[in-house]
Structure 1
Amino acid sequence: MNYFMNLVMSGLVIGTLYGMVAMGFAIIYRATGMVNFAQGEVMMLIAYMSYTFASIPGMAFIPLLACVLAVSVVLGLLIEWAFIRPMLGEPMFSRVMVTIGLAVVIRSFVILIWGVEPTAFPRPFGNEVIRFGDMALYPGQIFALVSLAVLSLAMWLFFRRSRVGIAMRATSNNETTALLMGINVKRISAIAWALSAVFAAFSGLSFCLMFSLEPEISQMGLRGFPATILGGLDSVVGGAFGGLVIGVMENLAGGYLGRGLKEIAGFVLIIVVLMVKPYGLFGQREIERV
């Protein structure tokens, strides 16, 4: 029983990373109807920038978090302004290809500036294990779990209570109609990219607090994308839930069926779910009238 619970808990921890990455995918899709394939690279860039801030003598964690979030918002706004806004009105395929090119540029930039060698990230909370009964968690893992819970609640309130959330959905459905209805599409797009960068900041910082920092962190983008599909491509909170489910499934498959099946367990789950619910667990069905 302890073995099972440890697998579940460690799966939930890695699932928080998937979930935060998935939320970044979903917020942009919900606002613009496009998939940002540079999400993993944005996460990597912010993680390395976090390392630079953390290396400043006397830098405490709260100021570090504030700096990282501020920089992430600026980075998200800059990416949207420089690369995405000029593509408004262009075919969706062209816009998606821009994000793929952006991913290559960011990855090359990070390797050029920081190198490819794994780097140990400072541990502001220490490395002492915190026990909850029979389960033990490191402070960085607790930070990741709490971050996902807070972000999920914030996004649920955002889309329930905020007019901006409704405007995001309208823009995603039909950009031209949204413009005619008086929605500031450029503003909505900028907010979505800023929020996506915030999710990347939390996921990148959480990764650094649990593992060593290396360029391969960008692979979390591709590994987190299935969580977006599972939860629903247009459901931000669903992406968080999908990340937790896939993280647990991967760990259980690796623990009981063999490590070789760990990598494909999430994709098998997605295939099964999509055969029943083509729009994901929490995705909204699109209805077209002809």
Structure 2
Amino acid sequence: MDYFILLTVSGIAIGVIYGLIGMGYALIFKATSVVNFAHGEIMMLISYMAFSIASSWTLPFWGLLLVCVFISAIVGLVIERVFIRPMLGQDVFSTVMVTIGLAVMIRAVVVLIWGADPLLLPTDIGDSGVEFGLVFLYTSQLYAIGLLAFCVLGMWVFLRFSRMGVAMRATAARETTALLMGINVTHVYAIAWAIAAVIAGISGVLLGTIYGLGPDLWTQGLRAFPAVILGGLDSVFGAAISGILIGVLENLSEGYIGQGLKEISGFLVILVVLMIRPYGLFGTPEIERV
């Protein structure tokens, strides 16, 4: 039982990161119907930027996070304006291919600027933590849990009550109708990419603090993708919840079945979910009238 508790808690600790990353995937898809395969690379780029900032200036963790949030929003806006907006009106497949090309480019840029050696993101929280009985959680892991809760609450308030959130939901429901109602769809797309980049930046700072940096950090974005499928590609909140489920499942499968299953257990879940509920646990099924 003690072993089960340890595996579950450590799975939740990484699962909240998956949930944050998954929220970025789902937000982009909800607003633009495009799967952003460069989301993990954007997260990695911002985490390396955070390393450069933390190495140049002495900032507390929250100060570094706020600076990275600002930088992330700019990165998201630039990517949307330079790479995505010219693809408006093109088929979805072409836009997805652009995100794949962008992902490869970011990986190369990160290695070119920062090198391929592993790095440690210097923050003031260090290895401090809190012990709960048999379980020890680092401060950074507790921050991750709190930040996921904050982002979920913030996105719920934004999408439900703000004018831009309502416009984003309307655009996601039917883009043509949104245009006829006077909604600036390009502006909605830009805001969606900026918010998704901010969420990616928060995830990158947390990952860099907990696990360190490396040129393979982008794979965390790929490992979080099953959470998006499980929750539903168009469900921001479903991705957050499913990220925790995937994190726990990964740990339990490796702990009880065997090493190596941690990397593939999430994708096995995808296969099962796509066969039973192709739209995910919390996604919206598409209904076409014929």
**TM-score (normalised: structure 2):** 0.96
Q: Which runs of 4+ in 1 moved over 4 A?
A: none
User: Matches of 1:173 and 1:136 in 2, distance apart?
Assistant: 44
Runs of 5+ unmatched residues, structure 2: none
1:42-67 deviation digits (Å, cap 9, x = unpaired): 00000000001111243222321121
User: Matches of 2:178 and 2:7 in 1, distance apart?
Assistant: 46
Give runs of aligned pairs for residues 191-230 of structure 1, distance below 5 A. 191-230=191-230
Aligned to 2:43: 43
For 1:3, the aligned partner's letter is: Y
Aligned to 1:244: 244
For 2:108, the aligned partner's letter is: S
User: Matches of 2:280 and 2:85 in 1, distance apart?
Assistant: 29
SS at match of 2:217: helix
Tell me if structure 1 keeps the 8 A contact 2:30–2:235.
yes
Instruction: Quote how far apart the aligned CAs of 1:159 are.
Output: 2.0
SS at match of 1:131: strand
Tell me if structure 2 keeps the 8 A contact 1:20–1:148.
yes
Aligned to 1:165: 165
User: Matches of 1:221 and 1:57 in 2, distance apart?
Assistant: 28
1:165-210 deviation digits (Å, cap 9, x = unpaired): 2322332343333212211101100110001001101110110111
1:86-122 deviation digits (Å, cap 9, x = unpaired): 1111111111111111111111111100000001221
Aligned to 2:153: 153
User: Matches of 1:188 and 1:146 in 2, distance apart?
Assistant: 27
Give runs of aligned pairs for residues 176-187 of structure 1, distance below 5 A. 176-187=176-187
User: Matches of 1:47 and 1:58 in 2, distance apart?
Assistant: 16
Tell me if structure 1 keeps the 8 A contact 2:140–2:210.
yes
Tell me if structure 2 keeps the 8 A contact 1:33–1:173.
no
Tell me if structure 1 keeps the 8 A contact 2:27–2:236.
yes
**TM-score (normalised: structure 1):** 0.96
Instruction: Quote how far apart the aligned CAs of 1:130 are.
Output: 1.1
Aligned to 1:263: 263
Aligned to 1:114: 114
- Count of matched residue positions in the alignment of Structure 1 and Structure 2: 290
Aligned to 2:125: 125
Q: Does residue 58 of the first structure (1) align with residue 61 of the second (2)? A: no
For 1:193, the aligned partner's letter is: W
SS at match of 2:260: helix
SS at match of 2:281: coil
Superposition RMSD in Å = 1.3
Tell me if structure 2 keeps the 8 A contact 1:75–1:197.
yes
Q: Does residue 95 of the first structure (1) align with residue 95 of the second (2)? A: yes
1:232-263 deviation digits (Å, cap 9, x = unpaired): 10011111111100000010000000112222
User: Matches of 1:169 and 1:33 in 2, distance apart?
Assistant: 12
For 1:91, the aligned partner's letter is: D
Runs of 5+ unmatched residues, structure 1: none
User: Matches of 1:62 and 1:159 in 2, distance apart?
Assistant: 25
User: Matches of 1:21 and 1:246 in 2, distance apart?
Assistant: 12
Note closer, same or farther for the CA distance 1:141–1:94 as it changes in structure 2 (3 Å cut): same
Question: Which stretch of structure 1 is more off in the superposition, 72-81 or 125-134?
Answer: 125-134
Instruction: Quote how far apart the aligned CAs of 1:158 are.
Output: 1.8
SS at match of 1:35: coil
Tell me if structure 1 keeps the 8 A contact 2:54–2:123.
no
Instruction: Quote how far apart the aligned CAs of 1:13 are.
Output: 1.0
